[in-house]
Structure 1
Amino acid sequence: MTTIDELPRPGRPGAILGLEYWLSPERFFDDLDGVGERFVIKIPGLPTWVCTTSPEDVKTIFTKGQESLRMAEVLRRFAPHEPLVGGDSLIFLDGKEHQRERRTLAPPFHGDRLKAFEPTMVRVTEEHLGSWPVDRPVEVVPLLQELTLDVIIEVIFGVTEGDRAARLREAIAGLDGLVGSWHFTAVMVFALARKGNWPGAYGNIRNAVKRVDDVVLEEIAHRRREGAEDRDDFLAMYMRTGADGEVMDDARIAQNMRGLLLGGHETTTLSIGWMIERLTRHPDVLDTLQAGVDAGDDDYLDAVIAESMRLRPVAPFTGRWVESPFMLGDLEVPAGVAVVPFITLLHRRADIYPDPLSFRPERFLGVRPGTYTWLPFGGGAHRCLGGAFAMLEMRVVMRTILRERTLQATGDAGESMVRRHFAVAPGRGGVATFAARAPVLV
């Protein structure tokens, strides 16, 4: 048996690592790469991290730690999820409560129902492409952010009435702007130093959240008055009977809708942005992908998505709070620390992914990503509920883009990683150039 005191630690002081974590994530990852399969990080003001890049450890954490490990406390300690989505939302629940809430929220994410949303995703993408600049470089992340927001508004919220849709878009943009501000980041750092306790009632968050919820509650009331509860969007499904015959009250529906928004909008936007950034640096991959899309074959596109998310996962790690001493293989992990499957570094293991820093979608042709070696959606009971939705959206958006535009390769160096909200984003916004092309008839 070993203890965490015997694990290696990075060569840089914790304060330097903390600055890199916020200001230079690429350097942060590089400084940790090669430290060891398991290692310890101690950043001032944060709990001790017990990090692992071992698939066996990951499997143990996801499948055998239910009595000792908790997701909620990590979320409170490392990110401001509680004031944004509510402390009683799905991500803060464990055990039977988590299972029950997950069953309630899961129906719209089933495969057959998801497939029905594809025509809407195609239409929204085509509408946005009509206004995208051609034949000149453009930052794609802001464009994708608007596109994916409209997908969420139509498919998730189902809000199509003009004035209400505009007000919902404005409210969401306000919340996004707040979360992305330096002021919010400063308050968040302060809260993290106080063990996740936010300083007072942070009114800006409360007001921004209320503006989103007010529009959703207005939409719910409108549908009930009009008897329009039989639609196929997520909101309509949640207005009907849920798991175990339960019907959610309107406030809880609005909270859950907000959770889906915050959990999926930014991550999907950045995942597509990174995919475009990687494709422009690899013309051979881009040519193969274009040929597959033109032929109506999604196999290579799915491989490109998987490889892009392997190489540039927007969430670099996941974690669990150790509530009581826990055995991770031969390692005794004490209570009061965070055990952290380090996604970015696990995805760089050469014994799992030969030549790991190369962009090679062929790794995933005819091969399903490993449950404990490919973790952009996390894993275990808390695996991202919207993972299948995100994969469908990325596939549909990218396929539609390539059918209507020609993405041009570039000889520029790859974009560096920067922190954006709680994720890792292309440093220059995913700059790319598109040329017009005639739609391909399949």
Structure 2
Amino acid sequence: MKVNEHPRKTIKKVCSFMIFSCFCFREVRLRSHFARKIQKLNDRINGIVSEKNTFDFKLSEGETKRPEHKITVSVIDATEIKGRETDKGKIVKMLVSESSDQEPAPRTISLVGMGGIGKTTLAQLVYNDHEVGTYFGKRIWVCVSDPFDEIRIANAILEALVGSAQDLIELQALLERIQELVSGKRFLLVLDDVWNEDSTKWEQLKNSLKRGCLPGSRFLVTTRKREVANCMGSSSTDILELGLLSPDECWSLFSQLAFFEKNSRDRDLEETGRKIAERCKGLPLAAKTLGSLLRFKRSRAEWESVLNNHVWEIEEAESKLLAPLWLSYHDLPTEMRPCFLYCAVFPRDYTFKRDTLIKLWMAQGFLRETQNQEMEATGGECFEALAARSFFQDFEKDEHDGRIIQLKEITEQKPTPVYRLPKPIYSIQYQPY
């Protein structure tokens, strides 16, 4: 130290050096910490890339286009429909029974079932029934779909009542006009393909329609979800859950299309055709699609090819079969999709218990425990929601509380490993269950 240097300056330099050194060491530690984090992320990304290559997953270009809802109308050729006579009789009886005249408020009857089960077809048969047409002074058909657009639906109802399009655009004016037109009339309103679970959207329309109408008026709703039926005002006795066709009904529907314009049923073709009809598992959509496909195929080799191929690998059938199934899948909340997709690991006709499946979901990390709810309860809600949307079939219920305890899934003939799923349907290969 120089003689003339002030002692305080020396102390300040030493302190400054110590602070600078501490700062450098801390910066080094932070850099090291972030470097380790980056390395872990790189390792995870490499693992994901490796699994993608192993399972041959393909990256999609752009956003997945949501399937379009099919617009339905009331027109139908009843001579082409096979089965559903019992179901039709039940619905007609509920609509025109003598007790209907004693009910001041319109009842809401709901047809519930999975996509392709025949809800719209049954509603069309009922709508065009002679007894129904005679009983109701006015019949109205509205294809609702998703979203539930109150103004569009009100316009459709008004147009059906008046017979021509109207210029009204405000909901208030539309509802007032509808109320005037239904006053003193007994009507049947069919609301096809309803997805809305918000009862407030339906209440305004419902209130306008029921004011002044004659006793015995009815609402007939078709939906895939039991929650929607409840939301629309159906009691448990007014909900009809559609089942699959019987083997004979399925064969009748399939053969009517497959053998159309063929001079006679070739024995070899009929034998193969019956096996194909069995693979339809009683689903009308599958029977109609495959029957229509084989309508223009006349050789046994072509029929055998359809029988031996995985149904989803038949290009002509794929688009028609998958369209309604995609709609149900896209309607699922995001957190439920992995739970449903996990079911693809089970083989054909596998029977499993509800609680066992929930535990498997938990083991896979699909369920999350919240502050107010345990994972088992969350899994139970997810299971019931999938069942209510008709993703599961063939329930066995507990005798005491009516809870679903096990089910038998409906799948294709052979279990297919996940990594071999056809590229268009990685996510819904086994829909419906």
Give TM-score, length-normalised by structure 2.
0.26
Which structure has more RCO (C-alpha within 8 Å, separation ≥ 6)?
A: 1
Q: Based on CA coordinates, which of the two structures has the bigger radius of gyration?
A: 2
